[in-house]
Chain A
Amino acid sequence: MEIIAFVNNKGGVGKTTCSKLMAEHLSKTQKMRTLCIDFDPQCNFSHQYLQMEIDPSAPEGLIPPIHPDYDPTDSEDADWDGRSSIAEIFYGHGVVPYPTYVENLDIAPGHAEKLLTAESVRRSEVVEKVHKQLANFLNSPDVRAAYDAVVIDTAPSKGPLTISVIKAATHIIIPSVMEEQPVQGIYGMLQLWMQESLARDKSRPLNLIGILPNMFKQTRLHRDILKSLQENSAISKYILPVKFSQRIVFAEVDAADSTPRSIFDFPELHVAKSEAMEVCSLISERIFA
């Protein structure tokens, strides 16, 4: 089971869009049993597949809907409120992934309040637990037996949640817009990659698949910044030779009533689909080859 995470501490660089495309590529075209994990308290990734609800007690955050398998009359579910998020790993509860409309694709959604709590811990012994918790969960035999791939969307931060993901991942991809501030976010993530790489046993490396230019526009700004990254010999080998262009269709399919709902259901020659195929195939070859 490979654990793929999209990370960048700058927000708005397309982590969720990339995670979604990658997860759908693996489940739809590669027929892999795939688990999506939403580790961002904003829960945008969860909202792609589930009708997330507002929590009356925490008005700013979203909570997962009632699980389709929940049966209040069943005595087995007696201790359960019917909702399950990935944040349960921090509270000692089981995680029950939700099926999605895509075959082979499940999601363990976020839970705004619970994830924010985990993100805000400061006491060192608690922080250490948060750091290890996702890896513990994903290394459990149940999870490993149930899925071939895990795709994790992360919060735009360098806090305990992101570190937890870095510690659990087998592969990371850093999507970035080719602008100064997102590129600084790359630096933050490379630092985490360095710390983690130097702490890991060599039999279990953290593979940096690369930096993925995202929302690319053929403007001087984007071209020049991409060029300056490619011209540095150390950095250039980590710049992926593919990119996602700025396309409104990537946002349009996010609407719940759009048809089709997945880029991969577009006609074969559609420019967005062929771009998504090109990027995702390359990443998946590098991970699974």
Chain B
Amino acid sequence: MSKKKRFGISDALTRGLSETINVVENNLGVYRNIVLPLSRIELDPNNPRKLAIDLSDIREGIRPDDPSYQVKQQELERLKELAHTIKSNGIINPIVVYKLGEYYRVVAGERRCLASILAGKQEIEARTFNEKPKAFELKLIQWVENTAREDLTLDERLDNMKEIMNEYHKRHGEVEMTATLLKNITGLSLSQMTYYLAAINAPYDVREQIQKGTIRNLDKAALLAGVTSDEARQQAIEACIAGSSLKDLRGIINQQKIRKKTKSSLNPSTRGRSPSSINMGSTVKAEVVKTIISCVVSKKEYKHYMDLFAQINWMDLRQTTKAFRTLVELLETEMAV
């Protein structure tokens, strides 16, 4: 006899239904989607994006005696490209605004606004906040919108993140800023936030290169920031500027550590190549890994990682291996910071 048939709705449909409900419940009363006349739009002077061109340049043309004529002209050319796609396809994502007197101030979507005017549009789709967002939320929205973009430099992104931290301190007092706290504020991943913190607190030489734009990658910046010896760091920075990949950089830094250790070691291993990393061994008992992880996260300073391992199925060797690797990576970053 075959098993009795069970009926149900497909996973895709269940997901669709619950996601739709969640969208409404989470966003109701926060903002509204409307179509706005572009004539009622104004840009936010405090937006962390440093776009030289502004509304009057678009509406009336750039004045030839404008000191930033060159830069603005270049920006205009890029906006024209965007305007071209807007002409044929419209904007894909609505801009974000809040009402300020007669006008709507742009929280996110300056380029889309300017390009829409160039494209000859009269209106633009916008998400309107019912109230002026608090300084903190405002920064957060602008930041989240901006991080997704490629044309923002690492320096600008770090600046934005510092602004967010400052605003947070203004509202909640001087609390210690940890990666976990930042993760809760921004909703981004814990590892990303660890890298941000490391890069923000980087030694002067690393910061300098970030400002110059020679270090543009967050992961690399965080890695370099973790090198404590000035000399070693300088070497690693040079390698980075020369174009080393993240993996190469890790190798270089590890080599330096080994060299330092072997110099002071009284009883160096004499046979074979000196190892560049530690082999953590292997086991068929997942229980061993589980014990190690639970010991580590039971320590006060690592307690906030506990959630990361809550969902692991310890019967599954693959998941367990992955969990262990995660633990090692987390500890490496923690110790680097």
What residues of B have a CB within 8 angstroms of the CB of A187 in the complex? Answer: 13, 16-17, 20
A175 shortest CB reach to chain B, Å: 16
Measured in the bound complex, the distance between the Cα atoms of B13 and A285 in whole Å is 30
Interface stretch, picked from B21-29, B237-245, B266-274, is: B21-29
Measured in the bound complex, the distance between the Cα atoms of B22 and A205 in whole Å is 16
Interface stretch, picked from A63-71, A148-156, A217-225, is: A217-225
Quick one: closest B residue to A198, CB to CB?
B33
Q: Check if B32 is an interface residue, CB within 8 A of chain A.
A: yes
What residues of A have a CB within 8 angstroms of the CB of B130 in the complex? Answer: 201-202
Interface stretch, picked from B3-11, B45-53, B66-74, is: B3-11
Q: Is the CB of B9 within 8 A of A193?
A: no
Measured in the bound complex, the distance between the Cα atoms of B31 and A220 in whole Å is 43
Q: Is the CB of A202 within 8 A of B28?
A: yes
Q: Is the CB of B13 within 8 A of A184?
A: yes
**A193, A227, A229: residue with the most chain B Cβ atoms closer than 10 Å:** A229
A178 shortest CB reach to chain B, Å: 9
Of the candidates B5, B6, B17, B34, which one forms a contact with A190 in the assembled complex, judged by CB atoms under 8 Å apart? B17
- A203-240 CB mask vs B (1 if < 8 Å, else 0) is 00100100000000000110011011100111100100
B96 shortest CB reach to chain A, Å: 13
Measured in the bound complex, the distance between the Cα atoms of B5 and A35 in whole Å is 45
Q: Is the CB of A183 within 8 A of B13?
A: yes
Quick one: closest A residue to B10, CB to CB?
A180
Q: Is the CB of A194 within 8 A of B9?
A: no
Quick one: closest B residue to A233, CB to CB?
B18
Q: Is the CB of A194 within 8 A of B20?
A: yes
Q: Check if B14 is an interface residue, CB within 8 A of chain A.
A: yes
What residues of B have a CB within 8 angstroms of the CB of A227 in the complex? Answer: 8
Q: Check if A191 is an interface residue, CB within 8 A of chain B.
A: yes
- A162-202 CB mask vs B (1 if < 8 Å, else 0) is 00000000000000000010011011001101110111111
B22 shortest CB reach to chain A, Å: 6
Measured in the bound complex, the distance between the Cα atoms of B9 and A225 in whole Å is 6
**B9, B18, B33: residue with the most chain A Cβ atoms closer than 10 Å:** B9
A72 shortest CB reach to chain B, Å: 46
Of the candidates A205, A220, A229, A233, which one forms a contact with B9 in the assembled complex, judged by CB atoms under 8 Å apart? A229
Q: Is the CB of A183 within 8 A of B9?
A: yes
What residues of B have a CB within 8 angstroms of the CB of A199 in the complex? Answer: 32-34
Measured in the bound complex, the distance between the Cα atoms of B30 and A205 in whole Å is 12
B285-307 contacts to A, CB under 8 A, are none
A111 shortest CB reach to chain B, Å: 31
What residues of A have a CB within 8 angstroms of the CB of B8 in the complex? Answer: 224-225, 227-228
Given contacts A197-B28, A198-B32, A200-B32, contact A228 B9 (CB under 8 A): yes
Measured in the bound complex, the distance between the Cα atoms of B23 and A198 in whole Å is 9
What residues of A have a CB within 8 angstroms of the CB of B22 in the complex? Answer: 234
Q: Is the CB of A186 within 8 A of B17?
A: yes
Q: Is the CB of A221 within 8 A of B7?
A: yes
Measured in the bound complex, the distance between the Cα atoms of B34 and A221 in whole Å is 42
Measured in the bound complex, the distance between the Cα atoms of B16 and A229 in whole Å is 12
Measured in the bound complex, the distance between the Cα atoms of B130 and A199 in whole Å is 11
B162-179 contacts to A, CB under 8 A, are none
Q: Is the CB of B28 within 8 A of A190?
A: no
B324 shortest CB reach to chain A, Å: 32
**B5, B19, B20, B130: residue with the most chain A Cβ atoms closer than 10 Å:** B20
Q: Is the CB of B7 within 8 A of A220?
A: yes
What residues of A have a CB within 8 angstroms of the CB of B13 in the complex? Answer: 180, 183-184, 187
Measured in the bound complex, the distance between the Cα atoms of B212 and A235 in whole Å is 52
What residues of A have a CB within 8 angstroms of the CB of B29 in the complex? Answer: 202, 205
What residues of A have a CB within 8 angstroms of the CB of B33 in the complex? Answer: 195, 198-199
**A198, A202, A205, A229: residue with the most chain B Cβ atoms closer than 10 Å:** A198
Quick one: closest A residue to B16, CB to CB?
A187
Measured in the bound complex, the distance between the Cα atoms of B14 and A187 in whole Å is 9
| A and B contact pairs by CB, cutoff 8 A, 17 listed | A180-B13, A183-B9, A187-B17, A194-B23, A199-B32, A199-B34, A205-B28, A220-B5, A220-B6, A227-B8, A228-B7, A232-B18, A234-B19, A234-B21, A235-B17, A235-B18, A238-B21
Which residues of B are at the interface with A, using a C-beta cutoff of 8 A? 4-10, 13-14, 16-24, 27-29, 31-34, 130
The 7 closest A-B pairs by CB, nearest first: A234-B18, A202-B29, A224-B7, A228-B8, A190-B20, A234-B21, A221-B7
